[in-house]
């Protein structure tokens, strides 16, 4: 009786877009083209997530996909667990992170959302206050993700207009 052997499947946890503080830009290519699964930026985000939580959920078998999710949802984590969803993350299986193709992403936000979803897979429920990365609503990027963004996004691509071009011509 003490052990529940039934696998709870299809658990969904959503990270909802904040009213403010999402990624900028509207005319850029869709996020799944800018940040494909397997790309160096996506892999770097997953590395930061593993480092942040000090674990590699599902023994490293985390499937990341771009897919269509409901409006105002950045991403979802899905996993199957024994017992309650967060009780024994080391036994989680079928780990999957679904990123919404309809959400707007920049590098810092994508990375932070990946860290958040990995957090669920590593046994972290939503938390308000304290560790903001597990807040249900995205508000700001993790410092490590800001650093990643600074490394992979040249300043000229963050700012429309010709300031960078003009200075480069001198
Ligand atoms: Zn969440």
CA of 28 to the centre of ligand 1 (A): 26
| Length of the chain counted residue by residue | 170
Cα-to-centroid distance, 137 and ligand 1 (Å): 8
Q: What is the pLDDT of residue 21?
A: 42
Kindly report whether the global pTM for this prediction surpasses the value 0.85: no
Residues 157, 32: Cα–Cα separation, whole Å: 18
Distance 85 CA to ligand 1 centre (A): 13
The pLDDT-based confidence of 153 (bands split at 50, 70, 90) is confident
Boundaries of every domain in the chain: 7-155+163-169
Residue 168: which pLDDT band, with cuts at 50, 70 and 90?
very low
Structure tokens at 10: 């299809």
How far apart, in whole angstroms, are the C-alpha atoms of residue 120 and residue 95?
10
CA distance 99 to 17: 12
**Span from the CA of 72 to the centroid of ligand 1 (angstroms):** 13
What is the rounded CA–CA span in Å between residue 155 and residue 144? 17
pLDDT tens digits for 70-92?
A: 989 999 999 999 888 999 999 99
Cα angle vertex 67, ends 15, 14, to 5°? 15
Which residues are CB-neighbours of 126 under 8 A, at least 6 positions away?
Answer: 13, 134, 135, 136
């Amino acid at each position: 009786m003490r052990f529940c052997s039934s696998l709870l499947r299809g658990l969904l946890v959503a990270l909802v877009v904040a009213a403010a503080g999402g990624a900028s830009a509207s005319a850029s290519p869709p996020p799944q083209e800018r940040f494909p699964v397997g790309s160096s930026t996506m892999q770097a985000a997953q590395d930061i997530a593993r480092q942040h939580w000090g674990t590699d959920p599902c023994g490293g078998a985390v499937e990341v996909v771009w897919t269509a999710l409901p409006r105002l949802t950045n991403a979802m984590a899905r996993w199957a667990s024994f017992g309650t969803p967060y009780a024994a993350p080391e036994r989680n299986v079928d780990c999957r992170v679904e990123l919404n193709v309809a959400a707007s992403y920049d590098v810092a936000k994508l990375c932070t959302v990946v860290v958040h979803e990995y957090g669920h897979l590593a046994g972290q429920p939503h938390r308000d206050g304290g560790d903001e990365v597990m807040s249900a609503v995205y508000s700001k990027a993790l410092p490590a993700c800001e650093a990643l963004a600074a490394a992979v996004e040249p300043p000229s691509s963050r700012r429309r207009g010709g300031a960078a071009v003009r200075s480069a011509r001198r």
